[in-house]
Structure 1
Amino acid sequence: MKRFIYSLIAGSLLFASCKNFLDVTPDSLSPSNYYKTDEDINTALTGVYDVLGKTATYGRYLYFEMDVSDESFPASSSWTQDVALFNYDPGDIKLTATWNTLYDGINRANMLLDNIDKSNLTTEKRRVAKGEALFLRAYYYFLLVQNWGSVPMRLTAAKDPNDVNIAKTPYKTIYEQIVKDMEIAADSVNGIDKYNYTGRVSKSAVWGILARVNLKMAGAPLRDVSRYAEARKWAAKVMEAANGHNLNPDYKDVFKKMAADQYDKKEVIWEVEFGLKNGTQDEGGAVGGVNGIGTPNSEIFTKTIGFSYGVQHPTDRYVKLFEAGDVRKDWSVSNYTYNGEGGKVYTPPTLTNYARFAAKWRREYETAGPKFLNTTAINFPLLRYSDVLLMFAEADNEINGPTVDGIAAVNTVRRRAYARPLKTITLTNGGSGYATAPTVVIGGPGSGATATATVSGGKVTSVTLNEIGLGYNTIPTITFDPGPGNPGSGATATAEIYTVDGVLTPEMTANRDAFREVIRAERSRELGFEGLRRFDLVRWGQWVPVMKNLANEIATTAPANYVYAARSGQNISNRDTLLAIPSKEVSLNQSLIQNPGW
């Protein structure tokens, strides 16, 4: 929920729409008589944050259309032209909206930074507000250079509407400014312990994003390997933070909390907040609505469980990336669909992986009501502690090779993933006299596992393990409860658990190259569908070849009705390492040169 936004005054109305990002001024309020009071500054700062929740950013585009990778594909065979398919022209509306939205956020931050010293805020409040605005401006530039490379950089608000001809700032210069601003912000913003929600920028958030920025600078295209030490340093600061960060013991619970208006500050360090206000949608996102388990468009789903288009599907390659016993698989990728009444129908193992859904965010756990058809109140994570651990390990390995500290960081993530789930339930005696299927009761000490029995001729004929659960450190007992009025008895079954604990083997950490590959695969398993995979593949210099290889794999092995999933990789070329600069922007800014290949 927009806890932070609600605590201030909505600031989005302060800023006018404009024809060009360089021409952004307040609609009716002059800076000379505004930016005076706490309310003025809070309103302006809210406007800077507000950009994070737009459809063109984390409302949808940055984690769906603009993060198509080897993890997922847009499951609509009717799509033939889209940014997600790398088949678009520079006039594409999604492309233009994202560019304009990010520059709008930058100009909002610049307006605040230009004028905040005129306010009557206390020194402490001014320092914190400045730090948040500086960081957000830097973060928006970070998103721009990730996607477009060198772009025009302006560090003060536009004052002349005719001053639109600004050339690209060198890529390296922009990154140096991003780091500078974020490092100032790190000393200025509050610690995460000051808040009971995670929609606001905190020291932990700044440190963690600084690790991400420096990892990008160490990778393609800058390849400044000195930045690995900086990435390691900033990730370590999060790991050593006095308030303490750690992982939620239950991977599934991380995402359930995002849907249920609960904050998990130990793990989810920074997130975009969406929500309802006075019973109406207040800039809702599409989290769980576009990338959830697909549902029928009927009243039970639109009003109760929550409707999802289910347009994001995993690739077969991604599903197979998970190892046996990894509890993240059946949460990240759906192992059930819904019937028309809202009941769960568990998918058989023979179902093609392409037909499954990206399923981290499930609307059945969304607690805010009413539930809307096209928008949701589910939050989206920008930085999780597991990401920090993996960034630390990656940077440490590039500097030192496998070390005790780097291995420990990865093992922390993997131990949670291999949390002793059930492996199988085997029927040993079908019993007799069952009029209906009995309830399968799975004993402790673990939790969360579920199974269903099938009856024929009065006997239990099979048991299907549906949810594998976690925490089964010893083999649980399996019993069958016939329920009232059911005369059946005598059915027995045994369980088997996964005993792997996820700890890295010596082969996985034999040398720098081996450990590097482990970390890269672990990032995908842990952070899949969180808007980071394309970013990772580009900085590793693997983007185009990975996508081309994936396209060939899909075209030659996928079922005939899913070969369209290869379109993104088939269309991709070297120019798609960067997005095209919107054609409208190029026409307005005579000093702006289009990206190569466009």
Structure 2
Amino acid sequence: MRTTKISKFILSALLAGGLTFSVSSCKDYLETEPVSLFGPDYVFSTVSSVQKQVLGVYASLAGDNGYGIRLSMYYTLDDDLMMGQGATPFPDNERRDIAHYTVQPSNTQLANPFKQLYQGIERANNSIYYIPKMELYTNGTEAQKRELRRLHGEALTLRAQFYLELIRNWGDVPARFLPASVETELFFGRTNRDEIYDKLLADLEEAATLVPWRSEVSAKDERITQGAVRALRARMALYRGGYSLRLNRQMERGSNYLEYYKIARDETKTIIDRNDHRLNPSFEAVFKDNIAAQRIEPNGEVLWEVAMAGGSSALGDSKLGYYNGPRLNGSIGNGALTILPTYFYSFNPNDLRRDVTAAPYNISAASIIQPRTLQTMVDGKFRRDWIPGMLASNAQYFGVNWPMIRYSDVLLMFAEAENELNGPTADAYEAVNQVRRRAFGKSANTPDVTVDLAGGLGKSDFFNAVVQERAWEFGGEGIRKYDLIRWNMLGQRLSETKAALAAMVAKKAPYETLPSTMYFKNNSTKVEWVNSLYAPVPSPAPSGADIGSIAWVGNGITNTILTYYAVGFTPNKSELMPLHTTVTDSNPSLKQEYGY
């Protein structure tokens, strides 16, 4: 189990649930009832009790119904890089239907994440409402006031994240910014998302003045710091300025969208100029040596991660490394998320991100690699063989944190926003090229013209380069589908990917030289291919007692991927999901929209 500060505090906050306010699991998501003998006068009387309250807000991010699996690995697919769980049963009125865009309002995976997000909002609303009213907030010691301001800023930031997740999955949603105990209205209808976004952007602007920078707190501190607040504000501004599916079932963006790109550019530039956060020199180390190893990344590259702890869903853990990634002996673990062959072959062979993002193998308890076929390749950033003590474990919860925002995202958001406002300036190029140099293992002292994004691109070409760079950088991190939606490119990219997969099966350009079989060294602790990934199988084919083989490019792609991949996608509908039937049944002010 992770033993850093926030995980232990979240665990204690959950166990001491009497210090939090919760949405009743038996009632409508907007209807609350007290679950504690402790009222707000008690909870918001000391700094320590407020800490437990706010850490209870953090807890609403975690577990099966948070970023432990559903918000991170069910809702985020299919995109043009990866496919959610395939095979039968399909349709399943469950996770496969969500991934492949055949989701219905009765889907069993819709209700609980929706409720948990509103639970987090209610907990945050209590903190935001009561903390500034505390006597200690204005008349306490300097240390007390500083800590209470920080807790206030954290609650504002967490509420913004909960609403962002609701909006990007369900569009216009009910919005409430006061505790249920002081509201007079019980049933809320949909609120225009632009109004919600503008409120949250203002909240985050305030939160940035309340929380410290990373360099101003302990190196072991996992709580939200100012870089995370500003990065979230930049991300939210890009969603606000981007396209989204509206109630008229059209993908639209506001005429004032450049105002929001300016917010994104200014916030990311502030983070860059502050220099509190930097890229880890090794892309692999971010995931292998830090996230999977359950250590805080020392360069500040991971601005914010959802801390997981407890060993079960109820105590806020995650299934990262169990639901996805390599399986143990080919049978333990789900191995549910598929790296699309077209994504694998989009990487430059020298791009170090390819073999971190993609794991073409299962693994034995003795660390022996068992290669997988091209069409069953899994994602690798959260692989079980990088998680201490979990290589041979039958457990489903590994305690691996979910990275919310990395510094490379700050750099690429800056480049995108700067280009939209001013074209591809030198600063925009440098932001992209920092990411690219790290990806190829190059430093600023060893430039390589094949690594740096060359100058002279027009605005459109530079944008397309950023789109592609984000694909290579963030595969498997739950970002891509929502990027494509805000760019109004999801349907186009899904169609293009299907066509490219069919071309690969037919060995058409640019895939005509790819091998139909890959040969590998048996009994190896690493993937050792004997033949090239980029050339036909040599004649004679590799052979010997120590050589194994697996099918590579061929009809298996049709049978295992194209049968399921995004098969139900409907433009101007599938960009959002329906409300679960229990939500509309319990709230007369809500009805299904967006074609459901």
TM-score bucket (shorter structure):
0.7 to 0.9
TM-score by length of 2: 0.80
Q: Determine if the alignment matches structure 1 residue 167 to structure 2 residue 116.
A: no
* Preserved contact between residue 331 and residue 360 of structure 1 (Cα < 8 Å): yes
- 2-side partners of 1:46 and 1:384: how far apart? 22
Residue from 394, 409, 427 that aligns with 2:416: 394
How much has 1:168 moved relative to structure 2? 0.9
Q: Determine if the alignment matches structure 1 residue 252 to structure 2 residue 273.
A: no
How much has 1:368 moved relative to structure 2? 5.8
1:153-197 CA distances to partner (integer Å, 9 max, x unpaired)? Answer: 001111289943211111210110110111110111121121324
Q: Counterpart of 1:591 in 2: which secondary structure?
A: coil
- 1-side partners of 2:367 and 2:445: how far apart? 29
* Preserved contact between residue 9 and residue 55 of structure 2 (Cα < 8 Å): no
How much has 1:321 moved relative to structure 2? 1.7
State the match for 1:211 in structure 2: 234
More strand by percentage? 1
* Preserved contact between residue 320 and residue 400 of structure 2 (Cα < 8 Å): yes
* Preserved contact between residue 68 and residue 319 of structure 2 (Cα < 8 Å): yes
1:428-467 CA distances to partner (integer Å, 9 max, x unpaired)? Answer: xxxxxxxxxxxxxxxxxxxxxxxxxxxxxxxxxxxxxxxx
State the match for 1:192 in structure 2: 214
- Structure 1 pair 46/325, CA: closer, same or farther in 2 (3 Å)? same
Alignment of 1:392-431 (within 5 A): 392-419=414-441
State the match for 2:584 in structure 1: 586
- Structure 1 pair 472/93, CA: closer, same or farther in 2 (3 Å)? farther
State the match for 1:27 in structure 2: 35
Which range is displaced more, 179-188 or 561-570? 561-570
State the match for 1:575 in structure 2: 573
- Structure 1 pair 555/235, CA: closer, same or farther in 2 (3 Å)? same
How much has 1:280 moved relative to structure 2? 12
Q: Determine if the alignment matches structure 1 residue 523 to structure 2 residue 466.
A: no
State the match for 1:273 in structure 2: 307
* AA in 2 matched with 1:571: G
How much has 1:106 moved relative to structure 2? 0.1
- 2-side partners of 1:569 and 1:364: how far apart? 30
- 1-side partners of 2:326 and 2:225: how far apart? 32
- 1-side partners of 2:203 and 2:367: how far apart? 49
Q: Counterpart of 1:214 in 2: which secondary structure?
A: helix
State the match for 1:327 in structure 2: 352
- 1-side partners of 2:376 and 2:7: how far apart? 38
Q: Determine if the alignment matches structure 1 residue 118 to structure 2 residue 157.
A: no
Which range is displaced more, 363-372 or 212-221? 363-372
Q: Determine if the alignment matches structure 1 residue 10 to structure 2 residue 13.
A: yes
- 1-side partners of 2:161 and 2:14: how far apart? 19
* AA in 1 matched with 2:130: N
State the match for 1:433 in structure 2: none
How much has 1:49 moved relative to structure 2? 0.2
* AA in 2 matched with 1:597: G
1:121-169 CA distances to partner (integer Å, 9 max, x unpaired)? Answer: 6322221111110111111111111111111100111128994321111
- Structure 1 pair 580/310, CA: closer, same or farther in 2 (3 Å)? same
* Preserved contact between residue 18 and residue 24 of structure 1 (Cα < 8 Å): no
State the match for 2:483 in structure 1: 536
- Structure 1 pair 11/111, CA: closer, same or farther in 2 (3 Å)? farther
1:37-66 CA distances to partner (integer Å, 9 max, x unpaired)? Answer: 223211111110001112122101122111
- Structure 1 pair 26/191, CA: closer, same or farther in 2 (3 Å)? farther
How much has 1:120 moved relative to structure 2? 4.2
Query: Which of 1 and 2 has greater Rg?
Result: 1
Structure 2 residue runs without a partner (length 5+): 92-96, 138-143, 245-252, 506-553
- 1-side partners of 2:389 and 2:119: how far apart? 29
Alignment of 1:375-524 (within 5 A): 375-419=397-441, 502-506=451-455, 509-524=456-471
Q: Counterpart of 1:270 in 2: which secondary structure?
A: strand
State the match for 1:99 in structure 2: 114
TM-score by length of 1: 0.80
- Structure 1 pair 584/151, CA: closer, same or farther in 2 (3 Å)? same
* AA in 2 matched with 1:260: A
Q: Counterpart of 1:80 in 2: which secondary structure?
A: coil
- Structure 1 pair 210/162, CA: closer, same or farther in 2 (3 Å)? closer
Structure 1 residue runs without a partner (length 5+): 299-306, 421-469, 474-497
Q: Counterpart of 1:269 in 2: which secondary structure?
A: strand
Identity within the alignment, %: 28
How much has 1:212 moved relative to structure 2? 0.7
How much has 1:500 moved relative to structure 2? 6.1
1:318-377 CA distances to partner (integer Å, 9 max, x unpaired)? Answer: 112211310111111114432474312467xxx52x221101112222226795521112
- 2-side partners of 1:284 and 1:99: how far apart? 18
- Structure 1 pair 248/169, CA: closer, same or farther in 2 (3 Å)? same
Q: Counterpart of 2:583 in 1: which secondary structure?
A: helix
Residue from 195, 202, 212 that aligns with 1:180: 202
Which range is displaced more, 572-581 or 529-538? 572-581
- 2-side partners of 1:148 and 1:107: how far apart? 18
